[in-house]
Amino acid sequence: MRITSVEVYTADLEYAGKAYAFAGGRSHKRFTSTVVVLTTDMGVTGYGEVCPCGPNYMAAFAEGLPSCLSLLAPVVIGEDPRQTSFIYERMDQALTGHAVAKAAIDIACWDILGKAAGLPVYTLLGGLQVPSMPLHRIVPLDEPDEMEASLQRYRSEGFRHIQIKLGHRVEEDIDLIRALSKFKHPDELWVGDINAAWRRDQAVRFAQAIGGVDLYLEQPCRGYEECLSVRRRIGHPVKLDESLNSLADVQRALCDDAMDAMALKVSKFGGLTPSRIIRDVCVDAGIPMTIEDAWGSGIATAAYAHLAASTPARALLNTTDLHNYNTTQLATGAPEVSGGRMTLSDRPGLGVVPDFSMLTLRDVYEA
């Protein structure tokens, strides 16, 4: 089996809420997603999707992805997509860094591998271990009454894992969490996500002021060393996200005892091939993970959901249903959501098919 063509599509995803806002004055209403279609000489087609959360969240932006893919596509054409690690080596030789662009191709290769084997991707990633995955829902940064209303709405929909975006003045966030904590149920898991916005003194002040509230603090400061300093001085568990961008970063955090949990965003780490390794390292180290991505529609959700579903339950903190954060869908067959949990089909590959009426063709690369 050989790759004969690579097609690159884009589409805009509009956030279903008022605005997706988080610390640092960052607020987005629309996201540009990139979908890659790999076609093979045996008629098997694979799909991959990546979607940065705006241009100021991670080291990637949507407008740059087609340019990266113009360098990556020629080196994978003619190769066997089922040889996922070999394909990744080829991409690394052609382009240094730019993990998100590589993820689009890598995810499509795993889709083909699953279809060729007649198996869902989760089987190839270790087997179905969490058939019904717990979901978290994000409460975007807003006025306190709006955030309380969002929390109550998600709770009524069955969500028991809540991620609360912080980023007001520290004193205001202290008051916010104190007020919201009055409604916290014993069976709920809360994460206060600062998105790297605070200094270490601010993070410590915040943690000391809400000492009686049971929640994780996610990425309190920008730098790794700052987060490590905070982790050593507070009583709340710390979850890392933005400061982890490679397997080496994760290994360092494990060695330093820098985290109690982590966010594993599949596209940020370069796709399923590297993310599977990071997942297994964290499982062995006893670090629970939120397995998710930065943004996306049904293809992106399916990709990380297959990784999450094949993770031992003791190591899966939660995942999320990004495709339901948008007003439109780019694919059919996305994972199903009910009562705050998500399930996958047993269709071969990722189990999703793009809706090409929603996509705009950007580039075609052929043998």
Q: What separation in angstroms does the CA of 83 have from each of 17, 90, 149, 226, 240?
A: 40, 11, 48, 40, 31
| Type of residue numbered 358 | M
Q: Kindly report the length of the chain.
A: 367
CA distance 343 to 341: 7
Question: How would you classify the pairing of strands 30-40 and 3-14?
Answer: antiparallel
CA distance 98 to 193: 25
Residues facing residue 3 across a β-bridge: 40
CA distance 263 to 258: 13
Question: Is position 165 annotated as part of the catalytic site?
Answer: yes
- Of 115, 239, 265, 268, the active-site residue reads 265
Residues facing residue 289 across a β-bridge: 262, 316
- Of 165, 184, 239, 268, the active-site residue reads 165
Q: How many alpha carbons fall within 13 Å on the CB side of residue 135? A: 25
Residues with Cβ within 8 Å of residue 278, at least 6 apart in sequence? 247, 250, 264, 269
Q: Answer whether 138's CB lies under 8 Å from 319's CB.
A: no
311-321 b/e (C-beta count within 10 Å ≥ 16 → b): beeebbbbbbb
Closest CA to 333 of 28, 115, 57, 18: 115
H helix intervals, 34-95: 65-76, 84-94
Question: Is position 265 annotated as part of the catalytic site?
Answer: yes
CA distance 122 to 346: 9
Q: Answer whether 113's CB lies under 8 Å from 124's CB.
A: yes
Active-site residue set = 165, 265
